[in-house]
Amino acid sequence: MKAIVYTEYGSPDVLQIKEVAKPAPQDNEVLIRVHATPVSFGDLLARNFKNITPRQFNMPFFFWLPARFAFGVNKPKKYILGSEFAGEVEAVGAAVTRFKQGDQVFGYRGQSMGAYAEYVCMPENGVLAIKPANLTYEEAAAVPYGALTALSLLRKVNLQSGQKVLINGASGGIGSAAVQLGKYFGAEVTGVCSTPRVGYVKALGADKVIDYTQEDFTQNKETYDLIFDILGKSSFARGKSSLKPNGRYLFASFKMKQLLQMLFTSIRGGQKVICALSAETAENLNLIKELSEAGKFKSVIDKCYPLEQMAEAHRYVETGQKQGNVVITV
Ligand SMILES: NC(=O)c1ccc[n+]([C@@H]2O[C@H](COP(=O)([O-])OP(=O)(O)OC[C@H]3O[C@@H](n4cnc5c(N)ncnc54)[C@H](OP(=O)(O)O)[C@@H]3O)[C@@H](O)[C@H]2O)c1
């Protein structure tokens, strides 16, 4: 089969199209013919991991170190990137009961990666679900990472209907899903992003959008039940005046400082800092499927590229101009 392989870390040029062995499903696995796979934050990070210093990594050093070993210290250990996909089940292992040949599916492989290829195998109990009927393969492929991360993290803070939430980083993979899920949970949602993406975040359903190049949300006297910071660009010290007395400051990206703030705020009453890791599940993916089919969750495509132009696609994402998802049609 054809796959995009990288054998050294570096610029998008390290991504080369190659012939590799087609995987064969184990008894508990399904073989999927991949139709689409997006370029996500994790793909860019893993492609160049050797050159990402602990400081540039948006997580504590003790997360960076095992990630460095997992991805490979000097050369990548996993040759094929791609953590999300949508495609069609081509064959199933002898023990598989939940899926059958011909099912249109979408799923998430996390750090196992491997979706930049014509075929992948997934355990039937993995993060795999029937594709939303109303989405194209390209639209469906772009859903799992952002939606599953945002849903898992929002569930950890038990967002309630009527609460006010601010999402800092609302135009990215996780943030754009968090805006839509915030509305699904019945919250009043304010998204924070840069000027070119104000319209995009508004179109996702945000009640208000703050352009951080024009306005500092910590200075406008608004207060929120939840501030959800995706990239960890804001600080609790500055932002706590924008939190209600029992408000929570949720960080998807954090360092030791925020972990210590979490410890400190957990032992006193009032505002809390929460640093959380997402847990992606098939149950959550099925909920996202239902929300998509009910028109409550959108997948916005910025550009599609053929598999052969993977490097171009990475280059485009690196410009920071995308509004929505960049997807590879396989
Ligand atoms: N906790 C977990 O379990 C977990 C899981 C997965 C990923 N993560 C973390 O999530 C992060 C990646 O998120 P993502 O995939 O959503 O990234 P992404 O798609 O690259 O989006 C990040 C967004 O942040 C915005 N941004 C940049 N500077 C900003 C600023 N100063 N203020 C507000 N927004 C700013 C950018 O858009 P604008 O230019 O429009 O602002 C961009 O769209 C990584 O740090 C990763 O470590 C955490």
Give the mean model confidence (pLDDT) for residues 156-171: 96
Q: What is the pLDDT of residue 79?
A: 95
Of 108, 230, 235, the residue with max ligand 1 atoms within 8 A of its CB, to mutate for a pocket test, comes to 230
The CA distances from residue 153 to 146, 252, 278, 284, in Å, are: 11, 8, 6, 12
Ligand 1 site, residue 81, Cβ cutoff 6 A: no
Query: Looking at ligand 1, which atom is closest to the CA of residue 322?
Result: 43
pLDDT band at 199 (very low <50, low <70, confident <90, very high): very high
Single pTM value for the model: 0.96
Distance 282 CA to ligand 1 centre (A): 23
Separation between Cα atoms, residue 87 and residue 159, nearest integer Å:
33
Q: What is the pLDDT of residue 269?
A: 87
Atom 3 of ligand 1: nearest residue by CA position: 277
Atom 31 of ligand 1: nearest residue by CA position: 233
> What are the pLDDT digits (tens) for 31-61?
999 999 999 999 999 999 999 999 899 899 8
> What are the pLDDT digits (tens) for 265-305?
999 989 999 999 999 999 999 999 999 999 999 999 999 99
Atom 30 of ligand 1: nearest residue by CA position: 233
Ligand 1 site, residue 194, Cβ cutoff 6 A: yes
- Mean pLDDT, the chain, rounded, equals 97
Give the mean model confidence (pLDDT) for residues 66-86: 94
Ligand 1 site, residue 46, Cβ cutoff 6 A: no
- B/e letters for 218-249, b = 16+ CB within 10 Å, e = fewer, are beeeeebbbbbbbebebebeebbebbeeebbb
Atom 11 of ligand 1: nearest residue by CA position: 231
